[in-house]
């Protein structure tokens, strides 16, 4: 059992800013995410793309934005429980929420704030070679430097596959982008940039198996109209997209509209001491932008603070007024 003031479900940009807001109010926070790293959809799908819709920031990569939000929250030492899913919401004898995670950890909190975006991300598996997961096969690239000097095969035809290929091209010994169709879903300019950067692009092809010793050494390809062949592959990154859904949250008794959680003007759901913010939350006039999510989670945290201690002022004060 872990005790805290606020448990935030979702470690994307909205959740990270929520951890900062909670700390600024003097509240302890625990941040939970099913993904193995913070950043949510940005880290999973477009870490190297520029984000331009945050006020005051003309543009920076998704990875840089996540790093900045993490550093901002770090001032108040939130606890991160990553790679585990929030599966059950219970109540203790005092009706305080208790969130049970997929690994059996229970987080007892005064309030819950849901910031899990469009739901839980589950990577689409590579049809061949799942037994190599963690031994050269991966679905995420949390640290580009891990692939320095390696022969890398990226599988997929979307923006994330092209982004990873571009980002790894200066570091890896070689980068090959394999797509099962001739046409890419990714933006044409990104595909051309990858080609110019030296990425080998193989289309109408599928990875049918992986082989090696302790780690992956080769990716075996089947290309339409050609004989099967093997490519050197010390790293294989399967960027085949993600399946997202509400997962266990759908069974918590929340009032839903499709895959969204309905909230009032305080960002409170229909459940006591449970709030939601960001892309997951829905209300009249909702605009799904990251910048809106930042305002919503600040609203959620401060209203939760007042619910926990009615003597507190709703307005948290300005950060410039503090030491």
Instruction: Name the binding residues for FAD.
Output: 14, 33, 41, 46, 86, 121, 279, 320
CATH of the domain at 176: 3.50.50.60
Contact 152, 232 (CB under 8 A): no
- 98 and 16 in a common domain: yes
pTM for this entry: 0.80
- 115 and 14 in a common domain: yes
CA atoms within 13 A on the CB side of 122: 7
Domain that holds residue 206: 125-240
- 118 and 41 in a common domain: yes
- 133 and 212 in a common domain: yes
Which one of 188, 207, 240 terminates a domain? 240
- 8 and 26 in a common domain: yes
- pLDDT lower than 50: segments of the chain: none
- 260 and 129 in a common domain: no
* Residue 151 pLDDT: 97
Which one of 240, 260, 294 terminates a domain? 240
Which one of 240, 264, 293 terminates a domain? 240
Euclidean distance between CA atoms 30 and 14, whole angstroms? 14
Strand runs labelled E in 92-127: 97-101, 106-108, 111-114, 120-123
Provide the number of structural domains found in the chain. 2
Instruction: Name the binding residues.
Output: 14, 33, 41, 46, 86, 121, 279, 320
- 267 and 184 in a common domain: no
* Residue 323 pLDDT: 64
Angle at 122 between CA 50 and CA 252, to 5 degrees: 110
Q: What is the pLDDT of residues 180-227, one digit of tens each?
A: 999 999 989 999 999 999 999 999 999 999 999 999 999 999 998 899
- 187 and 40 in a common domain: no
- 184 and 51 in a common domain: no
Is beta strand 205-212 parallel, antiparallel or unpaired with respect to 216-223? antiparallel
- 311 and 256 in a common domain: yes
- 118 and 10 in a common domain: yes
Q: What are 260's strand-pairing partners? A: 257
* Residue 50 pLDDT: 83
- 218 and 157 in a common domain: yes
* CB burial readout 128-142, b (16+ within 10 A) else e: ebeebbeebbbbbbe
């Amino acid at each position: 059992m872990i005790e805290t003031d606020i448990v935030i479900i979702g470690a994307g940009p909205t959740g990270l800013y929520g951890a900062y807001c909670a700390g600024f109010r003097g509240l302890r926070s625990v941040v939970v995410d099913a993904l193995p790293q913070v950043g949510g959809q940005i880290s999973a799908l477009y870490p190297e793309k520029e984000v331009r819709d945050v006020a005051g920031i003309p543009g920076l990569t998704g990875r840089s934005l996540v790093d900045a939000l993490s550093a901002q929250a770090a001032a108040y030492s939130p606890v991160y429980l990553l790679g585990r899913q929030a599966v059950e919401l219970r109540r203790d004898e005092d009706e305080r929420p208790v969130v049970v995670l997929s690994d059996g950890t229970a987080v007892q909190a005064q309030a819950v704030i849901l910031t899990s975006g469009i739901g839980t991300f589950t990577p689409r598996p590579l049809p061949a070679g799942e037994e190599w997961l963690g031994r050269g096969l991966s679905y995420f690239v949390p640290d580009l430097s891990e692939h320095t000097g390696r022969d890398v095969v990226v599988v997929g035809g979307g923006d994330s596959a092209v982004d990873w290929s571009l980002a790894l091209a200066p570091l890896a010994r070689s980068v090959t982008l394999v797509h099962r169709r001739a046409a890419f879903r990714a933006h044409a300019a990104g595909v051309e940039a990858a080609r110019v950067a030296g990425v080998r692009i193989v289309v109408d092809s599928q990875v049918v198996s992986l082989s090696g010793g302790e780690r992956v050494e080769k990716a075996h390809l089947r290309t339409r109209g050609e004989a099967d062949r093997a490519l050197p592959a010390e790293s294989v990154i399967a960027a085949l997209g993600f399946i997202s859904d509400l997962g266990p949250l759908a069974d918590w008794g929340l009032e839903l509209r499709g895959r969204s959680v309905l909230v009032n003007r305080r960002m409170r759901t229909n459940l006591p001491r449970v709030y939601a913010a960001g892309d997951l939350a829905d209300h009249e006039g909702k605009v799904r932008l990251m910048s809106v999510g930042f305002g919503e989670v600040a609203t959620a945290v401060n209203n939760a603070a007042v619910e926990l201690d009615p003597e507190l002022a709703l307005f948290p004060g300005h950060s410039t007024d503090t030491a």
